[in-house]
Copies of this chain bind each other. A is one copy, B any other.
Amino acid sequence: MKKFDIIPLFAIFAGATLIITAIMIQGSIMIFWSLSSLIITIVGSFFALMASFPFKILKQAPSILQQAFFHPMDNRKSLVSLVTSLSRKARSEGLLSLEDELDDLEDPFMVKGLQMVVDGIEPESISEILQLEIDAIERRHEIGHSIFSSWGELAPAFGMIGTLIGLIVMLSDLSDANAIGIGMATALITTFYGAFFANMVLIPIANKLKSQTSDEIYTREMMIESILSIQSGLNPRIVEEKLTSYLSPKERIMEEEVVMEDAS
């Protein structure tokens, strides 16, 4: 199962607290509260977002949003030792023997791939089908990313629209000189909301989704490599060598420890 990732939530919360504290040190937080500005910035940009994407896609936004707050699937270290041992078993007992192992596997992608190996489907079809799966995952994630990055561009634009409205209203009646400052302050609040919402919430979420996608795709490609290597009956040592290439230097050290513990 994917694990909840508290860090981004904490970071957004901490960022908001920091900004609120900075406001309270300099003046009253009440100056910065404006429901109408909030509505123009967030609801206005959301309407523009609604016109930008088919509703069928937009309604996936909450579940996509959730993904940004969970750890991506990236236990590549344990994959190396798993595949090395499956590879050994397949060479000594035959590909059919892998069927017993399928129930112990958590990841449906690995199960699907290995099931096709057991079923005797030729490598080209397996590779093609699994690659199609990866393309489909990539496509879905890219759409998710583009929802939040579009919103991250629209929010400051609506902040600016709100500020323009405030400025035009203020400028069209300069009779009360005392109101000028207040008018400009109020006008700037929507720009502030747009900048904060985009840079503290939307752009980070879009970035997070993008970097997690890249991570997941990488693990999936490693899985295809694994499945095809097992099927081809490649020397387990070479299989391990190949898969180790996917690990970072740090993970490699940990992987060696895992192997050593395994051997002991």
Contacts and interface: CB of A to CB of B under 8 A. Distances in A.
A36 B48 contact: no
Interface string A171-215: 111100010111011001101100110111101110110011011
Q: Give the number of copies in the complex.
A: 5
A99 B55 CA distance: 37
B218 A192 contact: no
Given A139-B218, A169-B26, A195-B161, A205 B54 contact: no
A25 interface: yes
B195 A47 contact: no
A51 interface: yes
A193 to B, nearest CB: 10
A51 B205 contact: yes
B54 A157 contact: no
B195 A168 contact: no
Interface in A31-62: 31-32, 36, 39-40, 43-44, 47-57
Given A15-B48, A248-B140, A208 B54 contact: yes
A132 B181 contact: no
B71 A54 contact: yes
Contacts of A184: 171
A51 B12 contact: yes
Contacts of A7: 50-51, 54-55
Nearest to A160: B195
A173 B165 contact: no
Residue from A40, A184, A211 whose CB has the most chain B CB atoms within 10 Å:
A211
